[in-house]
Amino acid sequence: MGDLHVVGRNPNQSMSSVQASTSSSPLLHADHRMLGIFTRSGLMITGLVGVSFVILFYRWFHHQITISLAYTEDWGHAFAIPLIAGYMIWQHRAKINQTSVTIFWPAFVPFLLGIQAYAYNLFNIHNHMLQGMSLILTLGSLVLWLVGPAMLRYLFLPIAYLLLMITISERIMLEVTFKLQLIASQGSWLILNLIGNPFGWFEVDIDGNTLMLITATGESFPMNVAEACSGMRMVVAFYALALAVALLGSSQWWQRIALVLLAGPVAVFMNMIRVTVLGLLMMVNPDLAAGDAHTVIGTLLLIPSLVLFLGMAWILNRLIAPDEDTASSPSPSTTKPTGKPTGKPAGKTVGKGVS
């Protein structure tokens, strides 16, 4: 077989141009990116901006870490939120690599506004939750300013997800917690009566958030559904989990909305089950419903709660499967017969054969 030449073009020139275009291809340089996202210069700039950002908001970070360590059962999930947000970004690394970085100067205005709001909430109002919201506003504006709107398409949801690591204000917590205490008390009262009354084992009376379990022998066990049993920590953790599962494991928007809407009811229902189990254990040994045993049992009961929620997420993801046959099948226009003869007899080939 003879040599192949490009008509009207120097072979050496064509090969050099192909090599130059190939060496500049982003696909070859993607392997040299740190974490599949950052170039060396980009990593240095991100590191410098990140250190400056942490120094600026150091007091908030220090206070949030202190709260999360002191109240691990309530706010320990705050340590996992940045990791999940980082994984969301890493999932979109291919699209991020294909998006050009542009400076978007209008974002400088909300950036300054976020810093001003943080300083006002820090020195005047002394509200940790509002300080955290100001931090997120500043972070989002900073990212928009430095990388542009096109890149923010893939970074907006991870940044917004960081709101879940902010400790909720105590005033809001008290109002919501009290309502959840009453719901947990009434729900567990109903479940316990359904278990004990039909068989005459025990009966349960309720007064506010206090349950009185009375056995068949007349022995009584008062049980107070305190703030720790209100289920607020479970509700917050479930919403954080629901958003993570919705954004990472669901492709349809209706599935994501359904998961977020289910998080609250599932958390409240499972907290009723937790209070019910503690009430049953109290009649066996009152020490099991107090102290470290109470904490351990309540923590162990989180496992079936998570299994239930993840099972519901699994059902939603498979409720309506995408029709792969429709996507892979050829369009009707390419398969529809025209009804006109081709003019070529079957079984014959036109032109020269290939030897």
**Mean pLDDT within 107-119:** 97
Q: What is this structure's pTM?
A: 0.72
* Residue 323 pLDDT: 52
pLDDT in tens, 55-79: 999 999 999 999 999 887 778 889 9
pLDDT in tens, 251-276: 788 888 888 888 888 888 888 888 88
For 12-21, 138-147, 317-326, which range has the lowest pLDDT when averaged over its residues? Answer: 12-21
- 8 A C-beta contact, residue 181 and residue 210: no
Distance CA 72, CA 226 (A): 18
Calpha distance 165→156 (Å, rounded): 16
Which H or E element spans position 189?
helix 170-196
pLDDT number for residue 255: 84
Residue 200: is its pLDDT beyond 60?
Answer: yes
* Residue 289: strand, helix, or coil: helix
Q: Tell which wins on pLDDT, 35 or 186.
A: 186
Query: Which residues, including other chains, have CB under 8 Å from residue 61's CB and lie 6 or more apart?
Result: 54
142 has pLDDT over 50: yes
More reliable by pLDDT, 230 or 32? 230
Torsion of CA 276, 278, 279, 280, to 10 degrees: 90
Distance, C-alpha 345 to centroid of its chain: 62
CB 243 within 8 A of CB 262: no
CA distance 228 to 181: 9
Which helix (DSSP H) or strand (DSSP E) does residue 316 occupy? helix 302-317
Distance CA 50, CA 42 (A): 12
Q: What pLDDT is stored for residue 320 in this prediction?
A: 67
Average pLDDT for the chain:
79
Looking at this protein, which amino acid is placed at residue 120?
Y
Backbone angles phi, psi at 323, to 5 degrees: -80, 95
